[in-house]
């Protein structure tokens, strides 16, 4: 089968590999019907994910049809349409029992698919711990609607949840890339009083203005004035940082009101500094981390109820045989791309 493979730094290649087989009673084999390319795949390509193992098939966001299951898998059966979770988790260890599945102690726990073990930019994928790692897609939900369930929507849902948003809150989201927009949709479900989105790219601002007119959308240079005029307590009640640069990190604590919650979803290429003397008296609570992606059944239910719909983020679709072109477009942010989908 065709599988997009991490060869070495800056080199991914479409290779012919054997179709995966069950290796454990808790495994399932899924025939991939739609996969995506994620910013994290680019991090692997650029060599900034030291855990990534050369030779593995990349891709960690996909939907498909169950082909085969191990003897211990009861939740799904061959023929079921499923969304695959970016995280592998056992459901039984200390962390899983508390919902902190990103830190599952299973040898494959956390982000393994498409990083440490073969992933889904391929015709088939082996999913370990399939009872937890697969979620059945409800009837009437398309592959395009379900595609981001296991990674970006799981992230947005988790970020909105840990930010403890109430209906009195003004929420500031920094960065309207695909993850920021998924976060925006999940924040909206919490019915906050006001949502402000800050994004530096004009095309992405236009996308937010068109699709989510209930949110205020601003370039970074206008944010300070807007916050001064619109936030009587001196900043947003909740800030969710989904930008990933030194500047967006600084903005996250700067535009938070005293006693706010600041949730850092973004990953950075380097360390960030909190200048405590400047922040003295702000009494902020910071929340950070890798997504705990354990709410995927609820996310799929919300998609079926039309409360979440991220299919419009797929601006381009390529055949698996043309995946090099998909990466080239996504990596260079050409042609107004937000997300690319890959159809094996
Ligand atoms: N914590 C997790 O588990 C998790 C999961 C998924 C993604 N992420 C991280 O979330 C971040 C966003 O992911 P993405 O796929 O949306 O990436 P992206 O690069 O497409 O999005 C970042 C957005 O921030 C904007 N931006 C950059 N600097 C800005 C500034 N100064 N002011 C306003 N906007 C600015 C960019 O224009 C871009 O649209 C990445 O760092 C990614 O690694 C984390
Ligand atoms: Zn990802
Ligand atoms: Zn576990």
Q: In the chain, how many domains are there? A: 2
Together in a domain, 122 and 236: no
- HEC string for 111-142: ECECCCECCCCECEEEECCHHHHEEECCCCCC
Say if ligand 1 is within 6 A of residue 162 CB. no
pLDDT computed for residue 87 by the predictor: 96
pLDDT computed for residue 194 by the predictor: 98
CATH of the domain at 116: 3.90.180.10
pLDDT computed for residue 111 by the predictor: 95
pLDDT computed for residue 326 by the predictor: 98
In a domain, 296, yes or no: no
Together in a domain, 16 and 107: yes
Please give the structure tokens belonging to residue 181: 């927009």
Please tell me the distance between residue 181's alpha carbon and the centre of ligand 1 in angstroms: 10
- Write down the pTM of the prediction: 0.97
Tens-digit pLDDT profile for residues 73-82: 999 999 999 9
Ligand nearest to the CA of 60: 2
Domain that holds residue 250: 154-288
Give how far the C-alpha of residue 277 lies from the chain's centroid of Cα atoms, to the nearest Å. 34
Together in a domain, 284 and 317: no
Which of 177, 247, 269, 315 for mutating ligand 1's site (highest number of atoms within 8 Å of CB)? Answer: 177
CATH of the domain at 243: 3.40.50.720
Task: Please give the Cα distance from 72 to 273 (Å, whole number).
Answer: 47
Say if ligand 1 is within 6 A of residue 180 CB. yes
Together in a domain, 49 and 95: yes
In a domain, 190, yes or no: yes
Please give the structure tokens belonging to residue 180: 């920021």
pLDDT computed for residue 330 by the predictor: 97
Say if ligand 1 is within 6 A of residue 138 CB. no
Together in a domain, 271 and 314: no
pLDDT computed for residue 141 by the predictor: 98
Please tell me whether residue 343 adopts helix, strand or coil conformation. strand
Together in a domain, 177 and 269: yes
Half-sphere exposure of 77 (CA within 13 A, CB side): 1
Together in a domain, 96 and 187: no
Give residue for tokens 């949110």.
Answer: 215
Task: Please give the Cα distance from 101 to 238 (Å, whole number).
Answer: 24
pLDDT computed for residue 17 by the predictor: 98
> Kind and range of the H or E element at 155?
helix 154-162
In a domain, 174, yes or no: yes
In ligand 1, the atom with minimum distance to the C-alpha of 155 is 5
Residues 145 and 153: beta-carbon distance below 8 Å: no
Say if ligand 1 is within 6 A of residue 199 CB. yes
Which of 114, 243, 313 for mutating ligand 1's site (highest number of atoms within 8 Å of CB)? Answer: 243
What end-to-end distance do the CA atoms of the chain give, in Å? Answer: 10
In ligand 1, the atom with minimum distance to the C-alpha of 204 is 39
> Which residue's alpha carbon is at the smallest distance from atom 8 of ligand 1?
266
Residues 115 and 54: beta-carbon distance below 8 Å: no
Residues 34 and 62: beta-carbon distance below 8 Å: yes
pLDDT computed for residue 269 by the predictor: 77
pLDDT computed for residue 48 by the predictor: 84
In a domain, 299, yes or no: no
| Tens of each residue's pLDDT in the chain, 344 residues | 999 999 999 999 999 999 999 999 999 999 999 999 999 999 999 988 999 999 999 999 999 999 999 999 999 999 999 999 999 999 999 999 999 999 999 999 999 999 999 999 999 999 999 999 999 999 999 999 999 999 999 999 999 999 999 999 999 999 999 999 999 999 999 999 999 999 999 999 999 999 999 999 999 999 999 999 999 999 999 999 999 999 999 999 999 999 999 999 998 878 899 999 988 899 999 999 899 999 999 999 999 999 999 999 999 999 999 999 999 999 999 999 999 999 99
Please tell me the distance between residue 238's alpha carbon and the centre of ligand 3 in angstroms: 30
């Amino acid at each position: 089968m065709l599988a997009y493979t991490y060869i070495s730094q800056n080199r991914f290649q479409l290779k012919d590999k054997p179709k995966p087989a069950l290796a454990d009673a808790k495994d399932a084999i899924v025939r991939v019907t739609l996969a995506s390319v994620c910013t994290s795949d680019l991090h692997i390509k650029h060599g900034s994910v030291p855990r990534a193992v050369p030779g593995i098939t990349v891709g960690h966001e996909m939907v498909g049809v169950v082909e085969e299951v191990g003897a211990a898998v009861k939740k799904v059966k061959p023929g079921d349409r499923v969304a695959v979770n970016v995280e592998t988790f056992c459901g039984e260890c200390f962390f899983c029992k508390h919902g902190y599945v990103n830190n599952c102690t299973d040898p494959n726990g956390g982000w393994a698919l498409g990083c440490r073990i073969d992933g889904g930019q391929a015709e088939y994928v082996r999913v370990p711990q399939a009872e937890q790692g697969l979620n059945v897609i409800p009837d009437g939900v398309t592959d395009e609607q379900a595609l981001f369930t296991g990674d970006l929507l799981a992230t947005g849902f988790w970020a909105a949840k840990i930010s403890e948003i109430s209906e009195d809150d003004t929420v500031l989201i920094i960065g309207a890339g695909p993850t920021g927009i998924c976060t925006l949709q999940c924040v909206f479900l919490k019915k906050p009083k006001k949502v402000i989105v800050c994004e530096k790219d004009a095309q992405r601002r236009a996308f937010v203005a068109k699709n989510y007119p209930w949110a205020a959308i601003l370039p970074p240079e206008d944010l300070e004035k807007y916050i001064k005029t619109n936030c009587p307590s001196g900043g947003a009640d909740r800030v969710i940082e989904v930008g990933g640069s030194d500047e967006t990190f600084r903005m996250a604590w700067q535009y938070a009101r005293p006693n706010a919650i600041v949730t850092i979803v973004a990953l950075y290429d380097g360390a960030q500094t909190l200048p405590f003397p400047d922040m003295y008296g702000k009494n902020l609570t910071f929340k950070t981390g890798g997504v705990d992606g354990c709410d995927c059944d609820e996310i799929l239910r919300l998609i079926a109820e039309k409360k979440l719909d991220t299919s419009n983020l797929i601006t381009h679709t390529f055949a698996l045989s043309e995946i090099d072109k998909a990466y080239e477009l996504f990596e260079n942010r050409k042609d107004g791309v937000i997300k690319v989908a890959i159809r094996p």
